[in-house]
Chain A
Amino acid sequence: MDHIVIISVAVLGILALVSAVILFFVASKFKVYEDPKIDEVETVLPKANCGGCGYPGCRAFAEASTKNAKKEKSLEGFFCPVGGNDVMKKVADILGLEIEEKDPMIAVVRCNGSFAHSPNKVNFEGVTSCSFAHALYAGEGGCQYGCLGLGDCVDACEFDAIHMNPETGLPVVNDKCTACGACVIACPRDIIELRKKGPKDKRIFVSCVNKEKGATAIKNCEVACIGCGKCEKVCEFDAITITSFLSYIDFDKCRLCRKCVEVCPTNAIWEVNFKPRKPKPVVASKPVEKPIKVEVKKQEIIMETKKEEDSNTEKSEK
C-alpha cells in the first residue's frame, strides 16, 4: 500500500519538475518584451475606442504612439481628438516628449436646407439611410449636394453629440462632440466637416456645399452659396476661396472679423456664438428683410449651442 503512494508522488513530482524545466526554457525563448509605457499610456486614454485617432481603438493607439515615440522621438501625427490637449499632454509626459498644442475641433454641419429654406419637391418613402437615398435620388428639396436628413451621422456618433432637429430636418451638433470624425465618414455628401472650435467657441463658416451655379443653387434653396465672390473680396486675410461656385473659409486663416457674414447676400455664411452686433447706420440702410433673416439665423444658433440664450433674444429683438 505504502509504495503506491510513494510511486504516485514520485511520478507526479518528476513530471512537474520536467514540465517546469520545459516551461522555463520555452518562456524565456518566446518571451515578448512589452514596453510598460504602453499600459501607462493606455490608462490615460479616454477608452472611447472610437477610432477618431485613426487606430482601431485606444490600445492600438497606445502601442503605435509608444513605438513611434521610441523610434522617431516625436508624437507627430498622433492625436486623440476625444481627450484633446490634456490627454495628449499626459501621453507626452509618460513618453518623455513635448507636444505642440492643437486647437480643439468640432464637427460642423454645412447645410442649412431646412424645410423652410428648401421646400420638399418630392416625397421619399424608402428606408432611412442616407447612403441608400444618396445613390437613389437627389433629395426631397431638390438639392443634390444638400443634407438628406435621414440620420446616418446620428447613427455613427458614439458620443450622443449629433441629433436631428425635427423642425428643420437637419442634424445639430452639441457640446458633447469630440471631433472623432465618425459622422464625417458616415455622411455620403461630405456635408460635415471638422473645423476649429475657435476662441470661446466662436466660429464662422459657409453653411453650404452646393457646387452648382448660383441660379440653379438658389432655385432649390434660398440660403445656398451662389458663389458671388463678395466674401472673397471683403476678406482681408485671404481666408476665403471660391471653387466651382462655392465659397470656403479656411479656419486657420480666419480672424473672425465677421465682414463676410455682413456681405453675404443669401446668408449662407454663419457666425456662431458671437454677441449680436450693435445696430450700425450701415445695417439700417440695408433692405428691410436683412434684419429679419439675421434673426432667423440667430435662432438657429441658439438651438445649436443653447448659450447666452436670454441676452441673444433680447438684443436681436431690438
Chain B
Amino acid sequence: MGLLKTFVLGGIHPPENKLSANQPIRALAVPSQVVVPMGQNLGAPSRPVVKRGEKVKTGQLIAEAGGFISSHLHSPVSGTIFKIDNVMDMSGYRRPAFIIKVEGDEWMDNIDRSEKLVTDVNFTPEEIVAKVKAAGIVGMGGATFPTHVKLMPPPGKKAEYLIINGVECEPYLTADHQLMLEKGAEIVVGTKLLMKALKVGKAVIGIENNKPDAIRQMNELTAGEENISVQPLRVKYPQGGEKQLIKAVTRREVPSGKLPIEVGCVVQNVGTAFAVYEAVTKNKPLIERVVTVTGKALKKPSNLKVRIGTPVSFLLEEAGGLPEDTGKIIGGGPMMGKAVATMDVPVVKGTSGILLMREDASHRPVEGPCIRCSKCTQVCPMGLEPFLLSRLARTGRFETAEQESVMDCIECGSCQYTCPANIPLLDYLRLGKNKVGAMIRARTRK
C-alpha cells in the first residue's frame, strides 16, 4: 500500500462513508417542472435564445454562451418555457433561470438515444472541440469550468498528459465510481476523444484504491490501449484537486497562480469524459448527470441519473424521503459542498451529490483558542499556513494575506477539519480570498 502514488504535501483521510457504493445508477423520472439556471458554469452566465411561452424539445439550445469562458445551455426536458425569472439557487440568491413545464418527452431528432457503444473516433480535433462546445459541457467534478476552453490550450503551450480524474476523494460521494463501473467503455472512448482534441499522446486515469473494482474494470478496458494507463492512488483527501492529482500522477508541480497547462497537463473528470463521449458520438448535449443522494439517516442512498433542473426534493423522494432529524442538506460532498437554502433548488451541471446531515451533526462545535499545534499547516495540500492566514483575515490585514499566498488556497477544508480548537479556518480563508480577489480586480482595472 505504501508504494502507491499520492501527492506529497499535507492531506487528510476522513471516514469514507461511501454508503451508496455499488448501488446501480437508476434513471430518475422526469419531474413535472424543471428550473434551469442560466449561470451553471464558471464564468459568464449564458444568454437566453428562447422566449417565454415557446415550445422546446429535449436537447434544444435554450441559452448560448455569454462570453469566452461560458457554455451553452440546453433544455433537459420537452415542454413549454413557462417563465424566465429569478429563481433561488443553492446559496439562496435569486438568479435568472428558465422554468420549464414538462409535456411528454420528445427529443431532438439528431440525438442518438440508443445504448449501443460507438468506438469509432474518427473526428478531427476541431470537430471534437466544436461538438463539446455545442453540447455545453462543463467540468463535472464540481468546478464547472467550460470544457471546450480547457481543450484549447493557449498559444505556445502544449499539453503532454491528459489526466482523467476518477479519484472521487470526497467522502460519501460514489457517482463517479458507479459511472466507471457501468460506463467504463464509454469513458475510455471519451478519453480517446479528449486525447485527440488535445493532441496528446498519453492519458492516465487516476483512481484511488478504495475502489478496487473500478481499477480492475478500467484496467481490463484499457488493456489493449497503449496510450491509456490506469494509475491506482493511495486514498488521501483532496487528491481530486487538479493540482494534487497532477502532483500524484506526474510528480509535476503547478506553479502558484498558474494553470495546469503550464506543466503540460490537462485534467478532466470521468463524468466529463462520459459527457464528451455522448456529445461527440451521439450528439447528446449535457442535459443529465449522475448524482449521489446519500446520508446516514436516508433509507435508500442511491446514485441517480437525473435531468438538469430537477428539484432536490424530487431526488430525496426517490431515495426514501427526507428523514425527520435532518439538520442540513448539502449540495456536493461533505468537505467542499455548500448547505442549500431550500429543498426546491435544482440540480445543476456541477451537482455531484446531495448529502443529508443529521441534526446532531449539523452544528458547529464551539470555537476555542488556537493552541499552535500546527496541524492545519501539516495537512494543507498547498503548503500554506492556515492559522496565519485566518488571523490576517480576521484582523483585516489583507495585503499581508496576499503576500502569504492566500489566493493559492483551494478551499478543500482540510485545515478546518483537522483543527482541534474548531476554529473556522476555512471561513476566514474564504473571507481573505474574497477581499484579496477584490483588491486584485481593483488593481487590474486601473
Contact = CB atoms under 8 A, between A and B. Distances in A.
A179 B408 CA distance: 38
Contacts of B92: 122, 137-139, 142, 144
Contacts of B88: 138
B364 A137 contact: no
A169 to B, nearest CB: 17
A125 B431 contact: no
Contact of A127 (B341, B424, B435): B424
Contact of A131 (B86, B94, B364, B435): B435
A282 interface: no
Range for the number of chain B residues in contact with chain A: 20 to 34
Contacts of B93: 137-138, 144
Contacts of A138: 88, 91-94, 341
A315 interface: no
Given A129-B431, A138-B93, A144-B93, A216 B341 contact: no
A126 interface: yes
Contact of B91 (A121, A125, A127, A137): A137
Interface string B356-367: 000000011000
Interface in B336-389: 338-339, 341-342, 363-364
A7 to B, nearest CB: 56
Nearest to A143: B92
A186 to B, nearest CB: 10
A135 B341 CA distance: 14
Interface in B407-442: 424, 427-428, 430-431, 434-435
Q: Which of A121, A125, A142 has the most CB of B within 10 A?
A: A125
B431 A212 contact: no
A125 B426 CA distance: 13
B340 to A, nearest CB: 9
Contacts of A216: 86, 94
Range for the number of chain A residues in contact with chain B: 10 to 19
A136 B430 CA distance: 9
A25 interface: no
A90 B339 CA distance: 56
Interface string A199-220: 0000000000000100010000
Contacts of B430: 132, 135-136
A133 to B, nearest CB: 9
B interface majority secondary structure:
mixed
A144 B364 CA distance: 24
B34 to A, nearest CB: 20
Interface in B132-155: none
Nearest to A122: B341
Contact of B427 (A132, A142, A212): A132
B339 A126 contact: no
Contacts of B86: 212, 216
A115 B399 CA distance: 36
A122 B424 CA distance: 19
Given A127-B427, A138-B341, A216-B86, A144 B94 contact: yes
Contact of A132 (B338, B339, B431): B431
Contacts of B394: 127
A222 to B, nearest CB: 18
Contact of B339 (A121, A122, A127, A144): A122
A129 B427 CA distance: 9
B138 to A, nearest CB: 21
A216 B93 CA distance: 12
Nearest to A136: B91
Contacts of A127: 394, 424, 427-428, 431
Interface in B312-357: 338-339, 341-342
Given A121-B342, A129-B427, A137-B93, 13 more contacts: A121-B341, A122-B339, A126-B424, A127-B424, A131-B431, A131-B434, A132-B427, A132-B428, A138-B88, A138-B93, A144-B92, A144-B94, A216-B86
5 contacts: A127-B394, A129-B431, A131-B431, A135-B434, A137-B92
Interface of A: 121-122, 125-127, 129, 131-132, 135-139, 142, 144, 212, 216
Closest 7 CB pairs of A and B: A138-B92, A132-B431, A127-B427, A137-B91, A125-B364, A137-B92, A126-B427
